[in-house]
Amino acid sequence: MRRLYHQPLSPFCRKIRLVLGEKKIEVELVEEKPWEKRMDYLRQNPSGKVPMLKIDDLTLAESPAIFEYLEEVYPDPPLLPKGAAERAEARRLASWFDDKFHHEVTVNLLYERVNKRLARSGHPESARIKEGARNIKYHLDYIGWLMEGRRWLAGDQLSIADFSAAAQLSSLDYIGDVDWSRNQSLKDWYAKVKSRPAFRSVLADLLPGFQPPSHYADLDF
């Protein structure tokens, strides 16, 4: 049985769910609360992070490694372009959102507002929320700027870059932290990614105690 251990608002879990959905790989979703540090989970994945994927009798962890595995073993449809230069561009942008965006924005907004409450590890720090709210602006503008000359974020085809970015943004959109009116190209791109069938189950997830804004699951937001 294929199983994905995940948290509903974790952007890295959402990224892998989008990849699995696009490749039509069915998995059972199992909610894992990393802050509980369950021994049985840590034995299988010593980093303690989500997602963790059980597939083909393997236990896979770290979302970039899980993605590359799925791309190698389940290549259809591909989420990396064919040429080495184009692949480097898709992976550059995937890393941008997994690392730079995540630490400059998601950690400051989502983790302060949501994760701290879930893990009962203190109150949101307003300085961090302000920093995240300031930082997200240039990232949104960067997506808008890229999309002025491209069909998808990394070029001509849908790739892991789109899913890495959309996964971070969708988690932040759940808590109303994305100003879509900032940039029309950005909004058009997100509408396009959001309308992928793979996005449906991600947007259907609800986190008890947190109510998403009305536009959140709306494809015509």
Task: Give yes or no for residue 127 binding a second copy (CB under 8 A).
Answer: no
Task: Give yes or no for residue 64 binding a second copy (CB under 8 A).
Answer: yes
Task: Give yes or no for residue 122 binding a second copy (CB under 8 A).
Answer: no
Length of the chain: 221
Task: Give yes or no for residue 76 binding a second copy (CB under 8 A).
Answer: no
Question: Which window, 19-27, 54-62, 178-186, 204-212, contacts a second copy (CB under 8 A)?
Answer: 54-62
**How far apart are alpha carbons 167 and 173 in whole angstroms?**
10
Q: Which of 173, 191, 166, 186 is nearest to 79 (CA)?
A: 166
The interaxial angle of helices 160-174 and 84-95, nearest 10 deg, is 20
Work out which of 17, 91, 187, 194 binds a second copy, going by CB under 8 A: 91
Least distance in angstroms from the C-beta of 175 to a second copy: 22
Q: Using the 8-state DSSP alphabet, how is residue 69 labeled? A: H
Task: Give yes or no for residue 186 binding a second copy (CB under 8 A).
Answer: no
Task: Give yes or no for residue 44 binding a second copy (CB under 8 A).
Answer: no
| Helices and strands in the chain: count of H runs, count of E runs | 10, 4
Q: What is the DSSP string of 135-158?
A: HHHHHHHHHHHHHTS-SBTTBSS-
Task: Give yes or no for residue 111 binding a second copy (CB under 8 A).
Answer: no
Instruction: List the structure tokens of 105.
Output: 């924005």
Site for a second copy, rule CB under 8 A? 46-47, 49, 56, 58, 60-66, 68-69, 72-73, 84-85, 87-89, 91-92, 94-96, 99-100, 103, 142
